[in-house]
Amino acid sequence: MELFDKERKENLEFFTVVVKNIRIILLFVCFSTLLTLVITLFIPKQYTSFALVFPTESNSIEEVVRNPQFGYDVEADRLIQILKSWEIMDSIAKKFDLIRYYRIDKTDPDWYDVLQKKYEEDITINRTIYMSVRISATTKSPEMSAAIVNTMVSLVNKTREKLLKQNTYIAIRSLEDEYFSLKKDLDSLSTVIGELSKNRPGFKQFVQTDRYIYMVRDNDQLDQYDDGRGLQLFVSQYNLKLGWFFDVQNKLKNSRLMSRRPLPEIYVLQKAIPSYKKTSPVMILNLVLALLGSFVFISFFLFIFYKIRSFRSQVNL
């Protein structure tokens, strides 16, 4: 009960101080609100544009054509990760000259960290409750905001394709090396076989099929030559490598075909359009905050000043 009375007494004292100094409080509140109004007028206006996209459920163009569906949370998260990648940020920064836009001094050692921080503040990417991905950009120009978002939408397909096909390109380079190495060996073996069988009556002709090379020969005359078995060994080796060659050739053909095959593009539900309604600064919000904040500040300041003065008076007594 005593605590309640003490609290009620404190509230009454606070109210008394406010009423007694109402003129000072109103002057301070008016001055703060007017100052906030002037500052707000000089703050650069910011404009936001956004786009909505859906990921595909599969990265196979045949599967998407056969069963077109939107991707779910896993696909959306992967798409967000690509949109937040360094490669897309670097492309946006170069195309829209964000270093100059943010007035970043490249001579500073941490200039890239400053760029990344400002970029992440103005460009946001998140997943909606409907599993779509929302890409938004806030800049000083409505046209620039919309252009950044639409550029990111166009870049994500290229970046995604480059990322998903990088192993295919590695496989192509490896298969090409193996292909030319086997071809060189086959040419060498073919030359040796041709030289060994030249002017030999035991070898009537060579017949080459899709997979092998055959010798049509007279076995009786072949036995008369010491190098007949050696020649047979070269032919066997040629046939073995020819089988490898055709296998590598087919793999290389399939890999090149896969590298040229397009990936399904993301579904663009809504492209970004310039919005001329500023998102910041919000004049009314700033004025309300200034009014309430200044009132609370000056009221408690005067009350604390009153309490300190009262305490000193009691000490002096």
Task: Give one DSSP letter per residue of 271-305, joined into a string.
Answer: ------SEEES-HHHHHHHHHHHHHHHHHHHHHHH
**What pLDDT sits at residue 96?**
93
**Which pLDDT does position 125 carry in this prediction?**
93
Judged on CB neighbours under 10 Å (0-12, 13-18, 19+), 268 is: middle
- For 262, phi and psi rounded to 5 degrees? -70, 155
- Residue 221's pLDDT is 45
pTM score of the predicted model? 0.67
Checking DSSP bridges between strand 133-139 and strand 46-54, what pairing results, if any? antiparallel
**Three-state secondary-structure class, residue 151:** helix
What is d(CA 101, CA 277) in angstroms, rounded to the nearest whole number?
21
At residue 220, the pLDDT reads 47
Cβ(109)–Cβ(183) under 8 Å? no
Q: From the CA atom positions of the chain, what is the Rg in Å?
A: 40
Which residues, listed in sequence order, are joined to residue 50 by a DSSP beta bridge? 136
pLDDT along the chain (317 residues), means of 10: 61 76 82 77 81 86 76 86 91 92 88 91 91 91 93 90 86 91 84 69 49 49 53 75 87 87 85 82 71 81 77 64
